[in-house]
Structure 1
Amino acid sequence: MTYCISGRPLRRLLVASLTLTAPLALAACATAPAATLADAAPATAQAAAEPAPLSQLVSAVDIPYESFTLDNGLTTIVHTDRKSPLVGVTIYYRVGSKHEPRGRTGFAHLFEHLMFGGSENVPNFDIPLEAAGSTSTNGSTWYDRTNYVETVPTGALDLALFMESDRMGHLLGAVSQDKLDKQRGVVQNEKRQGDNQPYGLVEYKIADGLLPVGHPYRHSTIGSMADLDAAGLADVRKWFIDNYGPNNVVLALAGDIDVATARPKVEKWFGDIPRGPDVTQLAAEPVTLDAPVRETMTDQVPVTRIYRAWTTPSLTQPDSVPLTVGMYVLGGLASSRLDNALVRGEELAVSASASLQQHEQIGFAQIQMDVKPGVDAALAETRFNQVIDELIANGPTEDELTRAATDIVSSQIGALEVVGGFSGKGATLAEGKLYAGNPANYKVELQQLASLTPADVQAAMQRWLTRPSYTLQVVPGERTEDGATMGGWGDEGSVPPPEPDAKQPVPEIAEGPEREFPPVAPVGKLTFPEVKHAALSNGIGVSLARRTAIPKLSMSITFDAGTAADGGDKAGTQSMMMSLLDEGTATRSALDIAIEQERLGAAIGTGTGTDSSSVSMTALTANLAPSLELLADIVRNPAFVPEEVERVKGQRLAAIAQQKASPIGLAQRALGPLIYGDAHPYGSVGAAGETSVIEALTPEMLAAEHGKWLRPDMASITVVGDVTMEELLPALESAFGDWQAPATPQPEKNFAVPVLPPSPRLVVIDRPNSPQSVLMFGRVLPLLGTDKGQEALELANEVIGNGFLSRLNSDLREDKGWTYGIRSSLSGVQGPRAFTVITPVQSDRTADSIALILKNMKEFPAEKGVDETEMQRVTDGNIRNLPNSFQTNGQVLGALLDNQELGRPDDYYVNLPDIYRGIDAGQIDMAAAEYLQPDRMVILVVGDRSQIDEQLKGLDMPIEYMDASEL
């Protein structure tokens, strides 16, 4: 668990981020007997061929709430949702990076890190919450606000409120120089991690190009290295006193709670915290450039990327919604103008997009294009600008407007599933209150959306996008900019940098009275949706978990294939075939498919995992029948048109180049062949594939791959959502029932190939100009994913590296500050499992980090077995947070698919609490001793050899070197 976001995610739509997680619809847990087609009733409302009208969809978006304000100014919003015994706790402070003074950029975000380091009565913020079953324990900082979120079992609500109130009212006595220094190191490694990516410095350049020095939105939320070095304890104290008073806070409680219960709890825990100064609202208007500005930057990137950007109005200004729709039509829809003209049409680009980043006082419109290799960039840019100008001049069509609006509203309906976290209903209400003074501001936006005309969109785009723009061209070459010096105030060249933190002591502060932790109530038995089974007339199995939280469903049609079907010499073939399914069928073009999805409010995607290939869909229940008809055509009748194949091949080759430009991408491509061997089905470079394999593929080869692996006798259908089996089965029968298997035998994957014998190796890939090294450790275990009884091993992995409180993360991040995060994992495959560890670390600590990781792994359990706190966290804590794992249709669908792939029963997760309760410390230690030791691991390092070679020699290990071009 990482608890900090640097402020880089985009606020793209009308409310808070639309990443979907959601509450679980409670139902009796059971596995129902299989139905047959004859048992099914005729389809009802789903038989309609026309999509549901936009007005009907908008009316489905509703988040009722009540609110109250304490005498100290703290505003609380309460939304009741009894579908699951969970409460999302969401706190927004009205302060962000725009409030930082010169010389202290990045401080709001650094302070957010410190808020997790413990308060006067809470030594560690994460341990009690995880032990109580909290998930999504996190925080983030952006220009306008800082927020903190956790979703807890209902019985742990008092604990969450106690802890949030303790750091709001009782923080400073617990903040030390040591804590500040450690979190400063973590934040600086977060900055290095972002800067180290291809195009990682673009954010700084665009902000510098659009806004003058001193504008509150100019400097980045992550800040500059010099400013982070300068932050001291006096700054911590001033920031807290000036900004973190309850009168600057919106608290949202959403879920299994009501206002009558919430009010006395909030008064108890927060009522005695005194008001503080009101946060000052700064002047921060959009800026119109005097003339167009153009810059070129070289970077270690595979293709030329061109950006055009403008500042735009605040998210509450009337032009915000029409601009959002205009950017969707231009480059947000699958059928966008840019895609149609530049990617599908004239094939001048491998990708193109447009987005609107919205903030309280300003917005950023950004349009970008990746030029297709071999195409003249100037020619591509001319056409790029023509497409933009055409839409600005003439506006969208009525159909484009309707499709964009339907797509937006469908996403909003999906967002209703979740109560907490960054994207839940609590965040939607809190942001409405914070930015618009109205928790229901989302309704204002949706009503405006439903009434928009093409002329409204045209007028808004003309008002804002005919102004001079900032254009940035990033071209392949040597990186000449230094990210460490970027992101700050902007006058660093003319004003001396701030003095580094001199670690001057600050006066002692009187701590408040001691406060006791409230008890945590027990959790009830986990409930899980009832799973029903049926079969179509051609034998395709159907599984359904009905959930009625929202009028949508999620489904997957899954085939026994995956990247393992490629073998060692066909890497990328299966995923290329899957990616072409929605690029045209016998009766629909790629554009037809994109447009139809948008009209239906559906989203269809293809995926290639290790052991299976799938086509997934989310659809509005009202549009189920036409959505299924489209899905079936994509699955059954791909055309593999030569022109489309060549276009997608070009995009895939560009994606491989992008992967190779990323340090993490290089490590991920290299590890499989190193630990499995390139002849093993799991030993390829991954789903992206090999360049030579992709280049050689023909339409005929892809059609043969489709016929070989995507057949009804190797398929299963799994559905979760608002539909009954009586409604679903006839609709599926109509779409898939007449699909017959070929006479040829089912293909098989070759798992007879032995894996490489595990042996220690240190392999280095040189990546010049890297401020961090990516470390990846891996070995294959003598276990299959389908072997039973591996839960103790999973818990041992949580202890060592899978989680924020794991030993590796606690040591390398929280204690040493050498990384932004480290994670260990056990691969979820049917065949031989792999144990891996991955982390980016600052370059000057590459060898030290390797040695420390090895030390931690060797000590578990030889010198340090699982302790009582760890044991409670990974057993009882996991039991308590299981309901959080099944909040959304997508989460339940993923659980059902995992059960199917690994041969587990439908009620596996219902029985998991009893399995955890039956595991003792000795079993966890034994699993760690047998499977998680580092003595036979491959250690892969991707970094700048000029900075790391001397360090690595000190490890006294033989070193091999691998050329990145070989991958």
Structure 2
Amino acid sequence: MTDTPIPARPEVAPPGPWAFPEPSTTRLDNGLGLQTFHTPGQYVASVRLAIPVVPAQEPRELEGILALLSRTFDEGTLDHSAEEFAELLERAGVALGSSTSEFGLVLDLDVPVSRLERGLELLAECVQRPAYPDDEVDRARRKRLADIEQENADPRSRAMREFAATFYTPESRASRPSAGSPATVRAITAPAVRDFHHDHVGPTGAVLVVAGDLSPLGAEPLQELHALVERTFGGWTPQPVEPVGPQGPVRREDARRIVVVDRPGSVQSELYVGCLGPDRRHGWGAYPVLSFLVGGAPQARVDSVLREDKGYTYGLRTAFVPRADGGLFIASGSVRADVTGESVGILLDILEKAREGFTPEEVRSGVDFVSQTAPARYATADSVADEAAGLALEKLPPRWVTEMFEETRSLTGEALVEAYGRADVGRWTVVVVGDADQVADEVRALGRGDVEVRRREG
């Protein structure tokens, strides 16, 4: 038997340069912006309509109306019933969806490029001639009320809600549920939804993002697409109420405190710990790396102690969350109830010790992970369209992504420490959802401040 020589292992070369795609941009006469990303080989077009209507524009007594609008915008139009419109979508191979945030409303359309014109016609019909039938709005309202009951029973949802109410001033829209409370949701009617759409949903400040392989449109695909969008959306009239932009939430002066939300008999405690952080306009390239190193992966500092060494949790995660003006630095996850106090103490110690710096090995691993996985994260038309729509609502250009990753690749340990210092680490708002009779005294024993116990609603 002849020995076969083992081939030499090929050398792994450093990754080549990468940049987020640059769109072709234009604007319709009615004010609607158009960003076009030609992505060869992506034969399903991803269309995102980003509209700057925000929860801060909702009447206080009807909070949640934007969420109900989002859930029912495609449930029939003035030209077609809900059943007829659903059949039209199915025949055209169109998928419609939507999402809301404090930055605005995004309507999603995914359709084969060969049927893009039909898809845009149906999307335009939704936004220009919506029906919001009484029965569909009633159904969505009942569903939202059921969701609220589920959120009350879910410890993570409860922790997030209590954190927002504790951290932000009552006047800040961010202190209250983005999709409304039981009282405000019950007050929403179909005529109110129709009026809100008429007043706030329009082309002024809106951006239509189209990503996909546009070569089937013709020899001049960008011009053909602009003409197509002009035919479908050119008659969309501007909304009567000018967009106001997202509301910057304000931190409460007494936000630095500990709250235990009673959940009798719970064998786990849900932790939600946070402080002020940056928004995406302040050297954001460092913050995905910091999230990864501190608590963004199983090998990060938080899990290496609380999960691997102690066995107190299945996993805790940290994240920097940008908002309209400033942001949050959040650590969250569940721990065993019998070690709640110790876990909170260890978690806060780890987060605060990170201010002392990171090893060269940590810096390199974090920078490489964040920067070298970027091409894969933006390899599809839908991921490009999603990012571009989000940036449009934040008034950031698509090149911001490229600039952010360039900043990430140049990070040093000193730059990471400086960036971490811009978060208000140490001034914590701590929310624990668990059995108060078991965990409250443990948390008090940490000496981290007074502990307020909130009993379960109802």
TM-score (norm 2): 0.90
Q: Could you say which residue in structure 2 is the equivalent of 1:700?
A: 191
Q: Deviations over 1:169-200 (max 9, x none)?
A: xxxxxxxxxxxxxxxxxxxxxxxxxxxxxxxx
Report whether the alignment pairs 1:552 with 2:44: yes
Q: Could you say which residue in structure 2 is the equivalent of 1:538?
A: 30
Gaps of 5+ in 1: 1-263, 270-516
Match of 2:168 among 668, 672, 676: 676
Other structure's SS at 2:108 match: strand
Match of 1:808 among 295, 302, 310: 302
For residues 423 and 384 of structure 2, the distance between their equivalents in structure 1, rounded to whole angstroms, comes to 29
Other structure's SS at 1:839 match: strand
For residues 769 and 648 of structure 1, the distance between their equivalents in structure 2, rounded to whole angstroms, comes to 33
Q: Deviations over 1:875-930 (max 9, x none)?
A: 23322222112122121112222432344333233334432243321121122234
Report whether the alignment pairs 1:881 with 2:373: yes
Decide whether the 8 Å contact of 1:764 with 1:941 is kept in 2: yes
Structural RMSD (CA): 2.5
Amino acid at match of 1:719: V
Report whether the alignment pairs 1:953 with 2:440: no
Q: Could you say which residue in structure 2 is the equivalent of 1:771?
A: 267
Q: Deviations over 1:592-619 (max 9, x none)?
A: 2222222222110121112111111111
For residues 435 and 450 of structure 2, the distance between their equivalents in structure 1, rounded to whole angstroms, comes to 18
Other structure's SS at 1:713 match: coil
Decide whether the 8 Å contact of 1:899 with 1:906 is kept in 2: yes
Other structure's SS at 2:411 match: coil
For residues 883 and 561 of structure 1, the distance between their equivalents in structure 2, rounded to whole angstroms, comes to 31
Q: Could you say which residue in structure 1 is the equivalent of 2:285?
A: 791
For residues 929 and 581 of structure 1, the distance between their equivalents in structure 2, rounded to whole angstroms, comes to 43
Shift of 1:637: 1.8
Q: Could you say which residue in structure 1 is the equivalent of 2:354?
A: 860
Q: Deviations over 1:316-357 (max 9, x none)?
A: xxxxxxxxxxxxxxxxxxxxxxxxxxxxxxxxxxxxxxxxxx
Decide whether the 8 Å contact of 2:93 with 2:111 is kept in 1: yes
For residues 568 and 795 of structure 1, the distance between their equivalents in structure 2, rounded to whole angstroms, comes to 38
Decide whether the 8 Å contact of 1:675 with 1:780 is kept in 2: no
For residues 654 and 590 of structure 1, the distance between their equivalents in structure 2, rounded to whole angstroms, comes to 22
Shift of 1:726: 2.8
Amino acid at match of 2:184: V
1:315-394 equivalences in 2 (<5 Å): none
1:158-173 equivalences in 2 (<5 Å): none
Shift of 1:805: 2.9
Other structure's SS at 2:77 match: coil
Identity %: 26
Decide whether the 8 Å contact of 1:568 with 1:684 is kept in 2: no
Q: Which moved more, 1:910-919 or 1:829-838?
A: 910-919
Q: Could you say which residue in structure 1 is the equivalent of 2:98?
A: 606
For residues 737 and 840 of structure 1, the distance between their equivalents in structure 2, rounded to whole angstroms, comes to 51
Decide whether the 8 Å contact of 2:271 with 2:430 is kept in 1: yes
Amino acid at match of 2:43: P
For residues 879 and 584 of structure 1, the distance between their equivalents in structure 2, rounded to whole angstroms, comes to 43
For residues 532 and 946 of structure 1, the distance between their equivalents in structure 2, rounded to whole angstroms, comes to 60
Q: 1:932 to 1:814 in 2, by over 3 A?
A: farther
Decide whether the 8 Å contact of 2:344 with 2:443 is kept in 1: no
Q: Could you say which residue in structure 2 is the equivalent of 1:132?
A: none
Amino acid at match of 2:182: T
Match of 2:111 among 609, 619, 643: 619
Q: 1:829 to 1:953 in 2, by over 3 A?
A: closer
For residues 203 and 413 of structure 2, the distance between their equivalents in structure 1, rounded to whole angstroms, comes to 46
Decide whether the 8 Å contact of 1:794 with 1:826 is kept in 2: yes
For residues 695 and 727 of structure 1, the distance between their equivalents in structure 2, rounded to whole angstroms, comes to 46
Q: Deviations over 1:421-446 (max 9, x none)?
A: xxxxxxxxxxxxxxxxxxxxxxxxxx
Q: 1:670 to 1:623 in 2, by over 3 A?
A: same
Shift of 1:569: 5.2
Amino acid at match of 1:652: R
For residues 392 and 254 of structure 2, the distance between their equivalents in structure 1, rounded to whole angstroms, comes to 29
Match of 1:713 among 179, 185, 204: 204
Q: Could you say which residue in structure 2 is the equivalent of 1:431?
A: none
For residues 420 and 27 of structure 2, the distance between their equivalents in structure 1, rounded to whole angstroms, comes to 42
Q: Deviations over 1:452-490 (max 9, x none)?
A: xxxxxxxxxxxxxxxxxxxxxxxxxxxxxxxxxxxxxxx
Shift of 1:757: 2.5
Amino acid at match of 2:232: A
Shift of 1:557: 0.6
Q: Could you say which residue in structure 2 is the equivalent of 1:939?
A: 430
Amino acid at match of 2:207: S
Report whether the alignment pairs 1:736 with 2:227: no
Match of 1:725 among 213, 219, 222: 222
Report whether the alignment pairs 1:656 with 2:148: yes
For residues 798 and 851 of structure 1, the distance between their equivalents in structure 2, rounded to whole angstroms, comes to 21
Other structure's SS at 2:457 match: helix
Other structure's SS at 1:787 match: coil
For residues 140 and 353 of structure 2, the distance between their equivalents in structure 1, rounded to whole angstroms, comes to 49
Amino acid at match of 2:271: L
1:411-810 equivalences in 2 (<5 Å): 520-566=12-58, 570-687=62-179, 689-723=180-214, 724-742=221-239, 744-748=240-244, 751=247, 754-757=250-253, 759-781=255-277, 783=278, 785-810=279-304
Shift of 1:520: 3.2
Shift of 1:750: 7.6
For residues 894 and 599 of structure 1, the distance between their equivalents in structure 2, rounded to whole angstroms, comes to 25
For residues 568 and 874 of structure 1, the distance between their equivalents in structure 2, rounded to whole angstroms, comes to 43
Shift of 1:938: 0.9
Amino acid at match of 1:708: D
Other structure's SS at 1:861 match: helix
Amino acid at match of 1:661: A
Q: 1:568 to 1:867 in 2, by over 3 A?
A: farther
Shift of 1:866: 0.9
Q: Deviations over 1:283-328 (max 9, x none)?
A: xxxxxxxxxxxxxxxxxxxxxxxxxxxxxxxxxxxxxxxxxxxxxx
TM-score (norm 1): 0.44
Other structure's SS at 2:204 match: helix
Shift of 1:840: 1.1
Report whether the alignment pairs 1:818 with 2:299: no
Amino acid at match of 1:944: D
Decide whether the 8 Å contact of 1:857 with 1:932 is kept in 2: no
Amino acid at match of 1:678: P
Shift of 1:932: 5.2
For residues 717 and 821 of structure 1, the distance between their equivalents in structure 2, rounded to whole angstroms, comes to 39
Q: 1:568 to 1:874 in 2, by over 3 A?
A: farther
Decide whether the 8 Å contact of 2:270 with 2:434 is kept in 1: yes
Other structure's SS at 1:668 match: helix
Amino acid at match of 1:735: T
Q: 1:817 to 1:620 in 2, by over 3 A?
A: same
Amino acid at match of 2:316: I
Q: Could you say which residue in structure 1 is the equivalent of 2:218?
A: none
Other structure's SS at 1:606 match: strand
For residues 309 and 55 of structure 2, the distance between their equivalents in structure 1, rounded to whole angstroms, comes to 39
For residues 936 and 848 of structure 1, the distance between their equivalents in structure 2, rounded to whole angstroms, comes to 19
Decide whether the 8 Å contact of 1:801 with 1:823 is kept in 2: yes
Q: Could you say which residue in structure 2 is the equivalent of 1:871?
A: 363
Report whether the alignment pairs 1:830 with 2:327: no
User: Which of 1 and 2 has higher RCO (CA within 8 Å, sep 6+)?
Assistant: 2
For residues 436 and 252 of structure 2, the distance between their equivalents in structure 1, rounded to whole angstroms, comes to 27
Shift of 1:721: 0.8
Count the aligned residue pairs. Answer: 448
For residues 520 and 558 of structure 1, the distance between their equivalents in structure 2, rounded to whole angstroms, comes to 41
Other structure's SS at 1:792 match: helix
For residues 153 and 351 of structure 2, the distance between their equivalents in structure 1, rounded to whole angstroms, comes to 30
Decide whether the 8 Å contact of 1:681 with 1:749 is kept in 2: no
For residues 615 and 572 of structure 1, the distance between their equivalents in structure 2, rounded to whole angstroms, comes to 17
For residues 116 and 366 of structure 2, the distance between their equivalents in structure 1, rounded to whole angstroms, comes to 40
Q: 1:641 to 1:568 in 2, by over 3 A?
A: closer
Q: Deviations over 1:669-723 (max 9, x none)?
A: 2222211123113222233x20100000122221221122211113110111122
Amino acid at match of 1:815: D
Amino acid at match of 1:840: S
For residues 963 and 631 of structure 1, the distance between their equivalents in structure 2, rounded to whole angstroms, comes to 46
